[in-house]
A and B are shown apart, each in its own frame.
Chain A
Amino acid sequence: MDNPDVSSVKHQSRGIAMRILLVEDDGVIADFILKGLKQAGFAVDHVSDGQSGLHLALTEPYDVSIIDIMLPELDGLSLIRRVREAEKGTPVIILSAKRSVEDRVKGLQAGGDDYLIKPFAFAELLARVRALIRRAQGTPESNSLKVGDLSLDVVKREVLRGEKKIELQPREFALLEYLMRNAGNVVSKTMIMEHVWDYNFDPQTNVVEVRICRLRDKIDRGFEKKLINTIRGVGYVIKENN
């Protein structure tokens, strides 16, 4: 059975898979990140201590580094500082169990580009890896999004399914736009709350479910191909099913 969490699109740059460096000393966490990233089409190198991490970061070309803060031999923040001192601009995502604002600021000041607090949803990590790559490549955000026969025009604020025009409420439009910008990738409830409602917490109610349900009613009802999929326990993804 194919894994629906992961898009079938390979991440490639000039025909070569995107390379990611993972420095994480917890074996189980490293395992699931490795597995997930490989399934998403990335080439991943994993080491479990700071020194080896630094060595790889300085000698190999990576598109993104994922670095844990608490590491043996050389801690994550020092590692990032050393990499930045060597004038390596590789985007860095920091993994940390510390959730305070101060720690976040410390991480970003050391030269991290993003900060993810453990425990995290893998979907979130994946989305952030992709966002950093997009930013590094300078891909402009498109105003016209398309998934299968569903198209959304951000400027005209128009949604079409085939020839049929679909009327959406502003918040439903924002939700669909967010899903479509992440087409093929799973987004979690928390990510939706944060990006569509600008709430930085999960209200633990079925607010998101209800909205998705309504959106699905307008987008998928009466069509044979269902575009909005629920990944139970993980989140939602919009994609053209094969």
Chain B
Amino acid sequence: MSLKRIINSPRTITFRLTLWHAGIFFILSLGAFLFIYLLVRSNLYRRVDSHLLEEVGEYRFLFDKGGYSEILTELEEESAREDLTKMFFRILTPGDEIVARTDLAAWRHFDFEKIKPDERIGEKTLIRTVDPPEAGAGKVRVLSTFIASGIILQVGEKLEENEQFLAILRKVIGLTMLLAVALAAFGGAIISRRSLAGVREATETAGDIARGVLNSRVPVKGSGDEIDRLAQTFNSMLDRIHALIIGMKEINDNIAHDLRSPITRIRGLAEMTLMGKENLLEYKNTAEITVHECDRLLAMINTMLDISEMDAGVAKREIAEVDISRVVREGAELFQPEAEDKGVTLKIEAPPVAPARGDVKKLQRALANILDNALKHTPGGGAVTISVGADRDQIRISISDTGIGIPENELSRIFERFYRGDKSRSEGGSGLGLSLARAIIRAHGGDITVSSFPGRGSTFTVILPRNFPSA
């Protein structure tokens, strides 16, 4: 345990927690010990007081029995009975005239001025603690009372033994507290370091990531406590960043290929046209292909931006109620003539369903992309079936085709950007349609899945939650 490190870093949470822990423990134990100390002291004093009162009772009794002379005799006898270094007895008038007293030889240092009778005595018995004139002489408990009118009895008793006991008690309490606070600080340090260990690990992991070790993760203990949840959240954030970075690397590779190819075509064609004979038809042809290729390039760039914006969640969406059945019917209608020309039957089972919330333009586009994909991969004589179903929470759209199907090993990859299956490479798509569809559906809080039987066809299933938050 690097206690030094804790002390050296007063800004750390560990240090502050330790300080708080020790501080609170100090205040609480101080309170408790103070209470105990005062209780013990008052108990000790009460014992002295009851002894003094006993004596007073005795004098009162004697005075009642035999009057003045009886108590003087008693006073004489006290000298023999009591240890006069520890006790004294005085009988005096309210005017501070001493009538009788025990031997005060041992009381030379005591300042009797301090216990001069005054109006405070009155009817009741006055008990007070008189501090010694000099250190070490010990405190004295003095009782003053009238035992008859005009006769004051003063009994004093040294608190020596009690004081010694209290001094030991104070020392014990002080030491105990010192030890306790030290232990509390130590314990606090251990507890806070223990509980913040996860944070330290997260910090170290973040440091690793900053140094480029992208697959570093915070160890999760599975205890389910706050720190563990932090670690899990932190890790899932790292997973997402990692996936995005890998995605970006892939995109960079693909951009190199997919954007360079059309540019190569445009450039080559233009160069050839310039090198050839001045043939207007050829020039027109070149211009046409240039426009076409540029449009494709532009569409690709825009689609890539759209996907990134969707994935990053920064795309502006105009959320409103969307009639999914209508979007499906309109989408199918868009492709109907193309399907007819190809000899593919488009079957639509889209009963009216309650509206979902979403951006209609984006959903149109997602569905059009999935439909386009299905139609592309279905040979003449086949069928594409679109059905819409809904329950309380979600809307389900499934698009089934009777196409060539997707091989098992390609299933997980078809939603990747620029991915084209071996068989669809010749179809001339951008490889972005399904990626964009998924990005849109996911941005709506839904998901898209695919199942396929090679040779028999594939089914894409879109699930859209109905209560998509509008924020």
Which of A's residues lie within 8 Å of B, judged by CB?
1, 99-102, 119, 171, 197, 199-207, 210-211, 214, 232-234
Contact = CB atoms under 8 A, between A and B. Distances in A.
Which of A99, A214, A232 lies at the interface centre, i.e. has the most chain B CB atoms within 10 A of its CB? Answer: A232
Given A1-B280, A232-B288, A202 B299 contact: yes
Contact of B341 (A119, A197, A200, A210): A210
B257 interface: no
Contacts of B333: 171
Interface string B267-304: 00000000000001000100111111011101100100
19 contacts: A100-B316, A102-B316, A119-B294, A171-B333, A199-B334, A199-B364, A201-B361, A203-B334, A204-B296, A204-B299, A204-B429, A204-B433, A205-B335, A205-B338, A207-B338, A214-B337, A232-B284, A233-B288, A233-B289
B305 to A, nearest CB: 8
A205 B292 contact: no
A119 B284 CA distance: 20
Interface residues of B, number: 32
A126 B308 CA distance: 32
Please give me the 9 A-B residue pairs with the lowest Cβ-Cβ distance, nearest first.
Answer: A233-B288, A233-B291, A101-B316, A210-B337, A232-B288, A210-B338, A203-B368, A200-B361, A201-B365
A207 B295 contact: no
A211 B330 CA distance: 14
Contacts of A211: 337
A100 B309 CA distance: 10
Interface in B299-358: 299, 302, 305, 316, 330, 333-335, 337-338, 341
Given A99-B302, A200-B361, A202-B299, A207 B284 contact: no
B386 to A, nearest CB: 16
Contacts of B316: 100-102
B299 A197 contact: no
Which DSSP category, helix, strand, loop or mixed, fits chain B's interface?
A: helix
A125 B365 CA distance: 24
Contacts of B338: 205-207, 210
Nearest to A120: B298
B430 interface: yes
A204 B430 contact: yes
Nearest to A235: B291
A207 B361 CA distance: 17
B401 interface: no
Interface of B: 280, 284, 287-292, 294-296, 298-299, 302, 305, 316, 330, 333-335, 337-338, 341, 361, 364-365, 368-369, 372, 429-430, 433
Nearest to A117: B302
A1 to B, nearest CB: 7
Given A210-B338, A232-B288, A233-B291, A205 B372 contact: yes
Contacts of B334: 197, 199, 203, 207
Contacts of B305: 99
A199 B372 contact: no
A203 B372 contact: yes
Contact of A199 (B290, B295, B368, B430): B368
Nearest to B303: A201
Nearest to B360: A198
Nearest to A211: B337
Given A100-B316, A202-B295, 17 more contacts: A99-B302, A119-B298, A199-B365, A201-B361, A201-B365, A201-B368, A202-B299, A203-B369, A203-B372, A204-B299, A204-B430, A205-B372, A207-B337, A233-B287, A233-B289, A233-B290, A233-B292
Most central of A1, A205, A214 by chain B CB within 10 Å: A205
A103 to B, nearest CB: 11
A203 B330 CA distance: 14
Nearest to A172: B337
Interface centre among A171, A203, A210, A214 (most CB of B within 10 A): A203
A209 B364 CA distance: 20
Nearest to B298: A119
Nearest to B436: A201
A4 to B, nearest CB: 11
